[in-house]
Amino acid sequence: MESPLVPDLAHLRGAYAVTSKATQETPLLESAALAKATGAARVFVKPESLQWAGSFKVRGAYWRLTRLSPDEAKRGVVAYSSGNFAQGLAAAGEALGIPVTIVMPIDAPAAKRDATAGYGARVVLTDHGQRPREEVAAEKARQIAEEEGVVLLHPFDDPEIVAGQAGAGLEALRQLEAKGAQADILFCSVGGGGLIGGVALAFHYLSPSTDIIAVEPAGFDGMGNSLAHGEIETMPMAPNSICDGLMARRPGVAPFAAVRKAGVHGLPVTDQSVRKAMKIAFERMKLVLEPSGAASLAALLDGSVDVAGKTILVIATGGNVSLADFMKHISNA
């Protein structure tokens, strides 16, 4: 019997039929330079950095908001996020006329805070001190939901978020087919796991031979660690990573159920390899990626996975980074 946490293929396709009318179809770019550099037969990059609000997050956010009842939509929603889900949910709320409140850690990038407010969302900042920032932000979001009677949304631990994010995978599969290609290996970055949960299910159902790799910052590889041990585990506190959007210490229950079904395995990357990937993406493909968005490309480039003669798909997940931070990262690559 299918777990209620794991959407089936019809569910994924139904979500994409709705979200595809409100999101951009991001391109699938082939890079001969990356293929030559890695020894792969072909390398494709899907830059979700070019999506509305600068990342894949609007896909799941838009679909989740369409699942609200009329009364819930009128009252509005609250969620916590360090940036990309915040922007995606704010943009979706603006498009659907649904009030959105976002709780963000005080150290979230200023560019992401400003962009979130620019989509009309109310932004509430939390000071987490020595505590895990997602823990403090989540507490504040729950408090707001209770006091104001709005719907509390989780940024990734929700089967409907997983189903909505799967649109990136369904889109990539169709684009690969149009180019006469089938991915042998898929690299996708992971925070809490909403994106890889959806993308992995899409490939599990339609391209089961594809090897799917969950890429996380070293020290925040909760998904990979949990997959290795067969159950969800929380990572100990670690120094911050430049991949601010991937610093979840444990995966969500719904994404974990999805990736286990799809046979995903994890791979950590260092901040330095991410910086190099950002620079290469800019120089070779003219893509501006934030650190979290470049982690998947870093996993391909650092040589940890044998890709010789293989067809590779990299989901580049976001591009929400200020010019000053981008220049700092690539100058230190």
pLDDT of residue 233: 93
Tokens representing residue 64 in the block: 């989740």
Question: Which run of H or E residues covers position 314?
Answer: strand 311-316
Alpha carbon distances (Å) from 272 to 31, 189, 302, 327: 22, 16, 10, 14
Report the DSSP pairing between strands 185-189 and 311-316: parallel
Q: What is the DSSP string of 186-250?
A: EEEE-SSSHHHHHHHHHHHHH-TT-EEEEEEETT--HHHHHHHHTS--PPPP----S-GGG--SS
Instruction: Quote the pTM value.
Output: 0.94
10 Å CB burial of residue 68 (0-12, 13-18, 19+) is middle
Place of tokens 């995966």: 251
Query: Please, which residues bridge with residue 266 across strands?
Result: 214
Place of tokens 């940890």: 304
Same fold, 9-56+158-331 and 57-152: yes
CB-based contact 19:167 (threshold 8 Å): yes
Q: What is the CATH number of domain 9-56+158-331?
A: 3.40.50.1100
- φ/ψ bin of 59: left (φ > 0), alpha (ψ from -120 to 50), beta (otherwise): alpha
CA dihedral 200→58→172→299, nearest 10 degrees, is -60
Place of tokens 């003669």: 309
Name the residue ranges covered by the structural domains of the chain.
9-56+158-331, 57-152
What are phi and psi for residue 165, nearest 5 degrees? -65, -25
* Separation of alpha carbons 179 and 248, rounded Å: 35
pLDDT of residue 4: 63
Q: Tell me, what DSSP letter sits at residue 289?
A: -
* Separation of alpha carbons 317 and 193, rounded Å: 12
pLDDT of residue 285: 97
Query: Which of 49, 37, 127 minimizes the C-alpha distance to 88?
Result: 49
Tokens representing residue 1 in the block: 């019997």
Q: What is the CATH number of domain 57-152?
A: 3.40.50.1100
pLDDT of residue 133: 76
Average pLDDT, consecutive stretches of 10 residues, N- to C-terminus, the chain (333 residues): 78 98 97 98 98 96 98 97 89 97 90 91 90 86 97 95 98 98 98 96 98 97 96 89 91 96 96 98 97 98 97 97 95 93
Q: How is the beta sheet containing 29-30 ordered, strand by strand?
A: 29-30, 42-47, 311-316, 185-189, 211-217, 265-269
Task: Work out whether the CA dihedral 245, 198, 53, 185 comes out positive or negative.
Answer: positive
- The set of residues, in sequence order, having a beta carbon less than 8 Å from that of 172 and lying 6+ positions away, is 28, 44, 46, 183, 199, 202, 313, 315
